[in-house]
Amino acid sequence: MSPHTHFRVLDFTGLPRQLRFGAFEVDLDAGDLRKQGLKVRVRGKPFELLELLIERRGEVVTRDDLKGRLWAADTFVDFDHGLNTAMNRLREALGDSAENPRFIETLPRRGYRFIAPIVDSAHKPDAPQPPVPGSGAGQGPRRLRSAAAALAVVLAVSLAALLALGRRAAEVAPGGPMRLAVLPFRNVSGDPGQEYFADGLTDALIADLAQIGALRVISRTSVMPYKATAKRLPEIARELGVDSVVEGSVLRYGERVRITARLVDAATDRNIWSETYERDLSDILSLQGDVARAITLGVRVTVTPQEQARLEQSGQVDPQAYEAYLRGRFHWQTMTEAGLRRGVEYMDQAIRIDPGYAPAYAGIAYCYWVMGGAGFETAPQTETAPKAKAAAERALALDPDLATAQATLGMLEIDYDWDFGRGEARMRDAIARSPGLAEPRISYSAFLAAMGRFEEAVAEAKRGLELDPVSEPASQTLGWRLFYARQYERAVLQFRRGLDQNPRAFVARIGLAQSHWQRGERRRALADAERAFADSGGSPWVLGWVGFAAASSGQHAKADAILAQLAEMGQGRYVSPIYPAMVQVGRGDHDAALEHLGAAFRDRSGWMVFLNVEPTFDGLRGDPRFRELLRRVGHRAQAPGAPSAAP
């Protein structure tokens, strides 16, 4: 809800009969529609359609609902033609359009929704109505009310809504935290170039809600596949395993942004709460917090004083800095080298505009950590990690509660500093600050596996998968934790689940190959590994393991060719020394393997912390030089579950 205007929340069981939206006033009893006092000619079905949409404002009114209420006696053909004609006349009267809706939003194959704020005409607002997009009003900067005043208005409105809606609010399941999914917000600006903005607001709302311990919020990677889906909300909720769903739309025009959000009970598809919020773009942070607070009230979860204080923090960000930040997020989510580097460029741009914007520093830290991390390694960590650490530390200096920066810094302390105690403490702190985020749990499970704490690692990976149930990375993570725990049959089943979801998921495919190998199914393993390399687009990691498997199978010519191929790759890009080391282990050449591992040690490769448990290097465990390398990395003893080293 905009702090500039007081909206009365309407109880739909007793809808006021004289209402105002935008520049229009409607008298439902008299059947009149007026614009700025002048009567607008709209009668019959178009007016009945308007009345029904207003009655269910914020909800989807399906075509079947409209047929049952307004065209019950007509044939389907007459209804289809009549509805289209009535809607066109109504939109013409309102000066609205399906492509750029201000009042009535079209949901393809579903129905329509009234999205504009509505005021009871008997209630006189203290401030002017929010401008209708395109009117030319409200485009410049405005004085913002204090955060306390804005919060008071929002909480009062949200509480009133809940009291009016009563029993329609969802209750917390007695068996555990409330499970919630925030579906991708729809971009209703009519400009496809604004998709990044809608996606970014979705991500921000997920992150805000993930701070609430009584909520379990599905991560973005699991909800993004439902963007523009035709599935009904109960079906989506069943697939995600949630109790409630948030959906909404984003309209950006000039320096203003309008968010329409609604909370739906998953089991009944009934509206719990809905509201429209409108702010200057510079006030976007408090707008996000307002929506998150209203949702926590709607699902009736207990919010601790610390969590409440976090949600109540309001602030401002330069609109251009915020836009650069959202563009950066959009690029790094591709998880490609080019996307990560573009992400850094946009984060740098955001910082130049607003040097105090902590999330932009956290974004830089994350991108550099991924670029230097095990399996990705576009550059040695000696180049990427110092940049990542500096950015993460700056983010935390600006915002000590920023869980994403805490998690990234914790993984850098583990992967780069090899300070396992400090890194684990920071990871646990990040999880405590945002218990509903999957990513810190997934990263923490990697640390637990590297330390040989397999039972804990598998349990944490399962928690991550619960928060990200249809995510490829979360599914693959559980497979790898089972693999490192040497539970190969269970790992095979988990990797196959991932491949059922995406047959070209090369990370799951190489995991399946390695699991087959450890079970003695070498021919099947090699076939899967070759396919993983083809699907990966030329991953040095996958190629290194193919070389290990070939050499271990006696295919020395193939192994030599792979060593040459890895060397050739390294002429144009960084190739971690870990990968030729894998091939040399397969060849039985311990001296060459340890020489490459020494180079990886100097590069501070993210693989070093996994040497303790990585089965590919089991052939080196009896070598005192290898044990000394493990000691220098920080491993004190052989990981539980790993095979005993030969004397």
DSSP readout, 554-615? Answer: T-HHHHHHHHHHHHHHHHHS---THHHHHHHHHHT-HHHHHHHHHHHHHTT-GGGGGTTT-G
Residue 6 is predicted with a pLDDT of: 27
**Which one is predicted more confidently, 486 or 133?**
486
Residues 153 and 287 in one domain: yes
Residues 419 and 330 in one domain: yes
Strand pairing report for 244-253 and 38-40:
unpaired
Q: Tell me if 54 is assigned to some domain.
A: yes
Choose the most confident range, by mean pLDDT, from 41-50, 148-157, 191-200, 348-357.
348-357
CA separation for the pair 211, 433 (Å, rounded)? 6
Q: Tell me if 481 is assigned to some domain.
A: no
Average pLDDT over residues 496-508: 91
CA separation for the pair 364, 332 (Å, rounded)? 10
Residue 175 is predicted with a pLDDT of: 46
CA separation for the pair 311, 274 (Å, rounded)? 19
Q: Tell me if 198 is assigned to some domain.
A: yes
pLDDT, tens digit, for every residue of 458-492? 999 999 998 888 888 889 999 999 999 999 999 99
Residues 340 and 237 in one domain: no
**Which one is predicted more confidently, 618 or 10?**
618
Average pLDDT over residues 63-91: 72
Coil/strand/helix, residue 82 = helix
Q: How many other C-beta atoms can be found within 10 angstroms of the C-beta atom of residue 622?
A: 13
Residues 206 and 76 in one domain: no
Residues 154 and 280 in one domain: yes
Residue 262 has pLDDT above 60, yes or no: yes
Residue 128 has pLDDT above 70, yes or no: no
Residue 348 is predicted with a pLDDT of: 96
Domain end call among 381, 403, 435: 435
Please count the structural domains in the chain: 4
Residue 367 is predicted with a pLDDT of: 94
Q: How many CA atoms lie within 13 A of 412 on its CB side?
A: 28
CA separation for the pair 472, 284 (Å, rounded)? 31
Whether this prediction's pTM lies above 0.85 is answered by no
Question: What would the two tokens of residue 378 be?
Answer: 């576009």
Q: Tell me if 45 is assigned to some domain.
A: yes
Residue 58 is predicted with a pLDDT of: 75
- CATH code at 172? 3.40.50.10610
pLDDT band at 221 (very low <50, low <70, confident <90, very high): confident
Q: Please name every residue paired with 33 in a beta bridge, in sequence order, or none if there are none.
A: 26, 40
Size of the chain, expressed as the number of residues it contains: 647
Domain end call among 253, 281, 316: 316
Residues 347 and 395 in one domain: yes
**Which one is predicted more confidently, 316 or 463?**
463
Q: What is the average pLDDT score of the chain?
A: 81
CA separation for the pair 277, 150 (Å, rounded)? 12
Q: Tell me if 532 is assigned to some domain.
A: no
Q: How many CA atoms lie within 13 A of 408 on its CB side?
A: 30
| CB-based contacts of 611, cutoff 8 Å, min separation 6 | 597, 617, 626, 629, 630, 633, 635
Q: How far apart are the first and last CA of the chain?
A: 71
Q: Tell me if 502 is assigned to some domain.
A: no
CA separation for the pair 264, 245 (Å, rounded)? 5
Amino acid identity of residue 392, one-letter, is A
Domain that holds residue 342: 317-435
Residues 307 and 358 in one domain: no
Q: Please give the share of the chain, as a percent, with pLDDT higher than 90.
A: 40
Residues 276 and 242 in one domain: yes
pLDDT, tens digit, for every residue of 619-635? 999 999 999 999 999 99
Cite the DSSP H helix spans in 63-194.
Answer: 63-70, 76-94, 147-165
Q: Tell me if 133 is assigned to some domain.
A: no
Average pLDDT over residues 364-390: 92
Q: Please give the share of the chain, as a percent, with pLDDT higher than 70.
A: 84
Residues 175 and 298 in one domain: yes
Domain end call among 271, 297, 316: 316
Residues 163 and 279 in one domain: yes
Q: Tell me if 488 is assigned to some domain.
A: no
Residue 639 is predicted with a pLDDT of: 54
Residues 347 and 240 in one domain: no
Question: What would the two tokens of residue 224 be?
Answer: 């993004």
- CATH code at 407? 1.25.40.10
Residues 288 and 412 in one domain: no
| CB-based contacts of 114, cutoff 8 Å, min separation 6 | 53, 54, 56, 57, 58, 103, 104, 105
